[in-house]
Structure 1
């Protein structure tokens, strides 16, 4: 079940990110050649409409391959012999470049002119040296080494679309991650309930300071060290900063006020380099509400994003350490640990990861969505696009460095895993 949980969590985050790209690209009329989960050799694939959907071996991400982003299909030049298959309207539906003997009713011409981008025509001389001219269907297939690839007229390519359409197609991936986090948190709160703001105890942990002091579910906390407690957040703001000193609690139990002394435990926060907080071992009441779950899902998604941005700022200004990062191995290990605590914990953890991936992809790093959006912003300021070749080199170098970082972090994760 842990392995299944890991596959579902990682797969869902990648799937919805790429689905965001796919939906917006298709809405803009861009030909999407492949929707891939993972990198490397194909494990499974099928084709629907114009897109091949694949699962690949290395679960390090995914991609949507849009026409125009990579070098297009095999270039046909004048003088080449090309086999044509026509539909009932006389339009070319297939251009066969080799292995022509495998096809029946194939018309072969020696090309004198061809335009697959704008005019969609092909001209040439047949076996009788007669000049022929044909219109090419905009969804025609080019067949090379028995592999069929759909042609991409310029109006179906990524670069032909408006700046807004291209930006939307790129931004849709991270946005889908935020949307996924919202729905996961909505489901979490709908299932588990929303913590009440009223300072009334819902549960008491066994063998906690609160349990040893005799606090029970239903007790309402009125004061701590003579300070009024109006909301649950007031209690947290006092207890969490305690360093192990005894505190006087005034409680209301079934209409009767009592006073108890509690010394909070001091616990170290994981991953904070020694930061501590006080804890007495109580949690608030939880209320179930559809509307409240929607609101809590939205606000918690925003809160997670703020925390991640704050952490990134601390990393940049306070010094970068490789130990602050987790790669695929570290994420899989943590996901496995969280999965053992049940579905509610797994929903929250998946939401946290999804927000992380969304924000990471929006950073202005070459090869990531944020880096590509930065180039679009520069294009908008300049009024014309940058040299595609130079931009491609920048993204290639950025991707190579990113993969190097992933390898280093993964090695560090493996060492940390075996050390524990």
Structure 2
């Protein structure tokens, strides 16, 4: 089967959950012999794990400015070429990483509505390339934030379109209310051009059915990790708390830092250390500097891994005792949890969003999500060897039976084949 994944590029400087999910899906399908192409939008996807070799469509620089200034007249070709050049996209990538849709309403609605002049010109370029060069059997969109593309692809290519949906509200609800409401309405309308929705947890399935009550029922497919990537060979000899996600307030890194300070001051866990990875963008530099200053009294016990690469994931988990990412929003899955479980690493996370469903005994859940409660939860697991070992066994069990790449690929193929049979 030939599958085209259409994904947004983010600049590759931080752990992007949806980007990693897309990579896991593409990799799992390739392992089973399927022909998978990954087509980036906005920015290049430079990570070799994606194995992308397509042009970049809807390049962030030219598309954004065309939306703002060239709706009535066509952007001059020389400006378009300059803005879409590798050097300009590289500069845009270095500045990327906003987690807010505020100020990006026009571009967001263009991609959801799929009907303005600038959008239609760019989507025609994508359709021509797919039709003439690739001829996929099925399209898999990374997000409903790209759903405007679905209508044109269905009409011009006459093939099924599948769409992933996860955590869209984090972006949409940060927009001005009028635009956010318009976006949700347009998503619901354009879902008629999608043959199947796929999400990552029963929790998010329920969220979606509340947000889009008239939408098709989504298929729940958990993330799947390649177990062979996580060797579990160099376990730390002292307790190490790990944080592995983009370093910002939204992901709760400051909550974890304050909890770590409490534990160090109590000193009930000898030689306790903190390892922080997952990368960050220019928008996060001020936050990271402030955090490093906060942790300075224990700088010998804290390690910041400033650089990020997808190829470094497994080695990070090999160097920590447990994972803790105290998110400040309700996440649809938490891929870092599924990865940690593949390495036999238990989790300490807030009892919010999908976490009770995903963790399910492989760690400790706490509530409310503040640094005092987190410190107590971390201490309870790190000072109770029996509870820790039980959580570790449960983590490995989840990895083997629930979050593995074979199950992921099998379920994706079932969805694709069902769509093709009904086409």
TM-score computed with the length of structure 1 as normaliser: 0.24
TM-score (structure 2 length as normaliser): 0.24
More strand by share: 1
